[in-house]
Amino acid sequence: MATRKRVTAQDVARLAGVSRTTVSFVLNNVTDMRISEETRQKVLAAARLLNYHPDAVARRMVTGRTRVVGFVLRQSPEQAFADLFLPQVLNGLSQAAARQGYQVLFEPIPPDQPNTMYSRLVNERHVDGIILSGPRFDDEDLLRLHREGAPLVLIGRLPDVEIPYVDVDNIGGARMATEYLIQKGHRRIGLITNAPLSYTASVERLSGYRQALEAAGLAFDETLVRYGNFTPHSGYQAMAALLQVRPLPTAVFVASDTVALGALQAIRHAGLRIPSDISLIGFDDIPLAGFLDPPLTTIHLPAFNLGWEAAEILLQRLSAEEATPPYRLLATHLVERESCAPPRKS
């Protein structure tokens, strides 16, 4: 079977009766070239007739832009693909980017990999800018990129660093979850973090938990704190360790619904019931949360909006528009389901 010949810019130029350079300028929206509207329409009509689409490499050579933004996570691929919260963020980001003709390159980079791996995305022109989800305190390369003026937006925040960001009120959300358990009558409340404390969101959720305890006159007890690492497996291990503490906590706040999936399984494997033996509250409100057994009470985050607004800020920066505002903090709220109850009377 004969292979169909690929349509080129030269074919469009021949049909439109113009130079190949004119075709390139028109199809890549290069301004200030004094191309008449009549000529522009002839080129566009020829391109439609031949079903021609500009090559991405050629477009980059003409415009200096890839029309691609990088979505980077400092997680291993295993952690990234286990996190059920991320697809909603990526959906919002991709839709906002597509609306302005951009594509998204998803790049999970493990914390033990050189930070230069994602700075190369910008410096070698693979992407026009980066949206980094889950910033870490120890990310020196990110700070260097920022100082060099690279287009960056965070999903999350770094204290005392003026990089544009979109985030949720992690402290307020964690405080809300812990206060809810206290209102139910719980006094011995465990915590499993969403990630190690090198991640800013983990520190903030731990802080909200501590604030709620202190406001209620309850002492912070380090033996009731364990550290998750984005995955259900880490939640299982953390909860199994908590269940060895005596006396047992009567409730546990798990600062990630994905991590809570493993915690729920560990409770079951220990022969305990939720919520009659131990209450469980999550954070994120992943789509699966309402279909667990029992349905999980959790703190809702606007995941789609996180991605959408991060993309909007970055694309405004790339088009030299002023992002208003370049720092956005989105609200959270409690979603009450069936995984929490007052502690059982002894």
Confidence of residue 57 (pLDDT cuts 50, 70, 90): very low
Query: In which element (H, E) is residue 204 found?
Result: helix 200-215
In this predicted structure, the answer to whether residue 88 has a pLDDT above a threshold of 90 is yes
pLDDT of res. 100: 87
The mean pLDDT of 82-110, rounded to a whole number, is 90
pLDDT tens, position by position, 281-337? 999 999 999 999 999 999 999 999 999 999 999 999 888 766 667 899 999 999 999
pLDDT tens, position by position, 124-171? 667 888 999 988 888 888 888 888 888 899 999 988 888 999 999 999
* DSSP state letters, 27-64: HTT--SS---HHHHHHHHHHHHHHT----HHHHHHHHS
HSE-CB at 82 with a 13 A cutoff on CA atoms is 21
pLDDT of res. 217: 97
In this predicted structure, the answer to whether residue 2 has a pLDDT above a threshold of 50 is no
Confidence of residue 4 (pLDDT cuts 50, 70, 90): low
In this predicted structure, the answer to whether residue 54 has a pLDDT above a threshold of 60 is yes
pLDDT of res. 62: 46
In this predicted structure, the answer to whether residue 345 has a pLDDT above a threshold of 90 is no
pLDDT tens, position by position, 264-283? 999 999 999 999 999 999 99
Asked if 289 contacts 84 with a C-beta cutoff of 8 angstroms, the reply is no
Rounded to the nearest integer, the mean pLDDT of the chain is 88
Give the Cα separation of 171 and 214 in Å (integer). Answer: 14
pLDDT of res. 19: 84
pLDDT of res. 55: 56
The mean pLDDT of 22-43, rounded to a whole number, is 77
Give the Cα separation of 246 and 238 in Å (integer). Answer: 15
Single-letter amino acid code for the residue at 260: A
pLDDT of res. 61: 44
In this predicted structure, the answer to whether residue 246 has a pLDDT above a threshold of 60 is yes
pLDDT of res. 32: 57
State what percent of residues in the chain have pLDDT above 70: 88
Higher pLDDT, 200 or 160: 200
pLDDT of res. 313: 93
pLDDT of res. 10: 83
**In the chain, which ranges are E strands?**
68-73, 103-108, 129-133, 152-155, 165-168, 189-193, 225-227, 251-254, 279-281, 298-300, 327-330, 333-335
Confidence of residue 1 (pLDDT cuts 50, 70, 90): very low
Asked if 255 contacts 192 with a C-beta cutoff of 8 angstroms, the reply is yes
- Complete domains list, the chain, with CATH: 9-63 (1.10.260.40), 68-168+303-329 (3.40.50.2300), 170-301 (3.40.50.2300)
Lowest mean pLDDT among 63-72, 153-162, 231-240: 63-72
**Spatial CA neighbour of 70 closest among 33, 120, 36:** 120
Q: Which of 48-62, 74-88, 105-119 has the highest mean pLDDT?
A: 74-88
The mean pLDDT of 243-265, rounded to a whole number, is 97
Is the peptide bond preceding residue 110 cis, with omega within 30 degrees of 0?
A: no
Structure tokens at 227: 């550290």
> Helix (H, G, I), strand (E, B), or coil: what is residue 87?
helix
